[in-house]
Structures are given as structure tokens and as C-alpha cells.
Amino acid sequence: MIEDIGFWFSYLTNGKHLTWYASFQFTIFAALMGGALAVIFGLAGATMKNSRFMPLRLVGSIYSSIVRGVPDVLFFLFFPLAFEQAVEWVVATQVCSPEAIAAQTAAWPPCREANWFLGTTEYLLLASVSLGLVYGAFATNVIHGALRSVPAGQLEAARAYGMSHSQVLWRIHVRQMWVYALPGLSNVWMLIIKATSLLSLLQIADIVLWADRLGAPNFLPAVGLVHEDWRWRYYLVLFVFYILVTWLSEKGFEAIMRRVGKGILSEARA
């Protein structure tokens, strides 16, 4: 019994498992940063869709329509690669001489001096921006609909009391918009949480990648087969983790709903 406890303790606290535990921070960071950016892009997109200027309305409509139609995986791979090569192209125009470009045998980058070596931090930031762009399109529609759901009579009453346009917008319109938007934004947040499982596609050693590595059959020449295929056990841990995050998120949104809805009587809370 003591030997079994010692084995499991040493096994679950070895270097690879400690790295796996640390990789959970990548998932949490990408979800929080991606969620914050999604709200920012959603507010910007909804503002453009509600604009009185036709070009801005067109840009907002194109953003929310086209990005929502692109598969998440495709956009998740396209944006970081396109951004990386765009940066390398800009750098190449400054540092690459004609001789260096002619001597370069690879198709890309134009010269070795323009090569941008991305690490985990850079890929994690690009992944967060990708999540924000993709799900910001969904948030745009949610916020746009929420802005239109605020009763027009309340806005007219605010103007009748002498409030300026900015006061009506921020104290009445946006203030009440959140009551209508939060249920939809909670669904967008859940989608972002699920999408964090794609981080390994950007060479980030996240929880999914480490679960696959640690759960694969492990054979060491010194001791033989340490364990057989245990991937299902590690995936079960991830399943419990995502369920826990989902449950905490639901409780968090319920608390936020009570906070923003305090003192507001609307059909969204009926």
C-alpha cells in the first residue's frame, strides 16, 4: 500500500506532470483575454452596425456576417500565420538587401534577418486575438440586438428630461443594454472556453497536448512498460476541468446579472 502511494506520488509530481499543471494557465489566460477582446470587438462592431453612416454600418455587417461563417479552426490557423508573415514582410523591406534576398534558398522569409521566431507567449497572444476576433463577431450580433431591445420610450423620456446624447447613450441605453446582452454573451463565453482546446494547433503545449503525451503508452528501457494507454484517464480530467469552469462561469454570470439588473425593470428580467 505504501509502495503504491509512493509510486503515484512520484509519478504525478514528476517534471512532465508539473509542466502539465502549469499549462492550465495558458488555457485560462486565453479564455479570459479572448473573452475580453470579444466584448471589445463586439461593442465596436455593434456600434458600427448602429451608426448613422452607411460605410460604418456596412463594415459592421460584413464583420459580423463573414467572420461568423468562417470555421473556427480555419480562422484560428489563418490569422496567426498571416500576421506572422505580414510582420516578416514589413521587417524584410527594412533589413533585407537584394543580395540577401537572392541568396535565400527558402521560399519564406525573404531573408534570414527577417525571420520572426515566435515563442509560447507570442502564440498565446495571437491565439487570444484570434478568439476575440472570431467570437467578437458573435458578440456583435448579441450586443446589436440588445441595444435595439431597450425600450424606445425610456430613451425618449431621458431626452425629454434634458439629457444630452452622450448621457442618454451611457446612462440609459448602454446601462440597460447589458441586461439584454448578458444571456447571449454567456453563450459566447461558453464557446470561447470550448475553443481553448485548439491552442495546441498553434504549437502551444496546452492541457490537451500534454494530456495526449502523458496518456500515451510509456515505455522506458530501464523499467520496461510504465503504463499502457491511459489517455482516456487524462481526457477525463480535462472533462471534469471544463465542466467545473462551465459551472463557475454560470454562477459568475448569474451574479453579474443580479448586479447589472439592480434597479432596472425590463422584459429581459421578467
Give the tens place of pLDDT for each residue, 201-244.
Answer: 887 888 988 888 888 776 665 555 666 788 888 899 999 999 99
Span 9-22, average pLDDT:
80
Span 67-94, average pLDDT:
82
- Please provide the average confidence, as pLDDT, over all residues in the chain: 82
49 neighbors 141 (Cβ within 8 angstroms): no
What pLDDT sits at residue 221?
58
First to last CA, the chain: 58
- pLDDT-based confidence at residue 186 (cuts at 50, 70, 90): very high
pLDDT: which is higher, 2 or 59:
59
Whose cell is 446624447? That residue is 165
- pLDDT-based confidence at residue 39 (cuts at 50, 70, 90): very high
Decide: pTM greater than 0.75.
yes
Q: Give the cell for residue 259.
A: 448586479
Span 120-142, average pLDDT:
90
Domains and CATH numbers, the chain: 27-207 (1.10.3720.10)
